[in-house]
Amino acid sequence: MLTIGQLAAYAGVTTRAVRHYHQVGLLPEPERNHSGYRTYTAPDVVRLIRIRTLADAGVPLARVEELLAADDEGFSTAVTEIDRRLRAEIRELQEHRRRIAQLAAGDSLALPPTVTTYLDRMRALGAPEVMVQMERDAWILIAAQVPGRIDEFMVEKEAQLDDPTMRRFLRVMGEAVSGDAPEGRLVEMADLVVEMAEQAAARGELDGQDDAVPDQSFADLLDTVVLTAGPEMVRLRDRLLGLMEERGWSGLVRMERVEPGGG
């Protein structure tokens, strides 16, 4: 006759596991001896080893009783089904690992690869990190609204990065953010933005702005992305918008012509 500790030792489990198997009904509780202790026999050890073997193989405890009572054919069928489920779980875990690996760089969270490639290219062209992060957050919002159009939009954005004027704008903004004569840099940035806006208007490209920005409330939401960059970026943004209005343009998210000077 064995104590619960001896039973656990023979089967290679803990006494806590034995008590749990009692609780869930997998291992019948034996009668207690005259001293009030549970006592076990060889069949209990055998059953416990079988339970442990199935559990270690990944069989859910809810299925263990079924397998212990099954004949050879039933056991084979059940094991095949459990194996199928485990392989599906493995595939799901592998997909989770793939996504986690993609998140290592930070930008990949909630963004398709075309956008992260675009953001990396912005960095390579000298855009300040704060601007890249604002672009990232804006595209997360846009991707949630129009996920099917993102790759199409990225073709246009990549083409913009090929434009020497845009490349100059990114470098100048980097200098402005770094504190290198920011007022002079802002004036140049305003001139560059207006130059690009005039070119885009001449090509009819501004007519498609509403594809990515469906309404004014969403445009306003995108405009608040800059708030997360801190008060200095808000100041630079507001000053840039003022300079643009002096040149007859308003907006960065949705660009429109206005009377020069904001009138």
Instruction: Report the alpha-carbon distance of residue 259 to residue 263 in Å, rounded.
Output: 5
CA dihedral (37, 42, 46, 52) positive or negative: positive
Asked whether the beta carbons of 129 and 123 are under 8 A apart, the reply is yes
Asked whether the beta carbons of 27 and 48 are under 8 A apart, the reply is yes
Residue range 119-144, pLDDT digits in tens: 999 999 988 888 888 888 888 888 88
Query: What does the pLDDT average to over 100-108?
Result: 60
Query: What does the pLDDT average to over 138-154?
Result: 87
H or E element in which residue 9 lies: helix 4-11
Residue range 110-121, pLDDT digits in tens: 788 899 899 999
pLDDT exceeds 60 at position 104:
no
Two tokens, residue 231: 């008060």
Band (pLDDT 50/70/90 cuts) for residue 107 is low
* Residue-level pLDDT at 169: 93
Nearest to 246 by CA among 189, 201, 203: 189
Residue range 86-95, pLDDT digits in tens: 889 889 988 8
* Residue-level pLDDT at 14: 94
Residue range 203-220, pLDDT digits in tens: 887 776 666 566 677 777
pLDDT exceeds 70 at position 202:
yes
Residue 24: CA atoms inside 13 Å, Cβ hemisphere, count?
13
pLDDT exceeds 80 at position 102:
no
What are the extents of the domains in the chain?
A: 1-69, 71-105, 106-262
Pick the CATH number of 1-69 from 1.10.357.10, 1.10.1610.10, 3.30.540.10, 1.10.1660.10: 1.10.1660.10
pLDDT exceeds 70 at position 105:
no
Two tokens, residue 212: 């990515």
H or E element in which residue 195 lies: helix 182-202
Instruction: Report the alpha-carbon distance of residue 19 to residue 21 in Å, rounded.
Output: 5
Asked whether the beta carbons of 179 and 245 are under 8 A apart, the reply is no
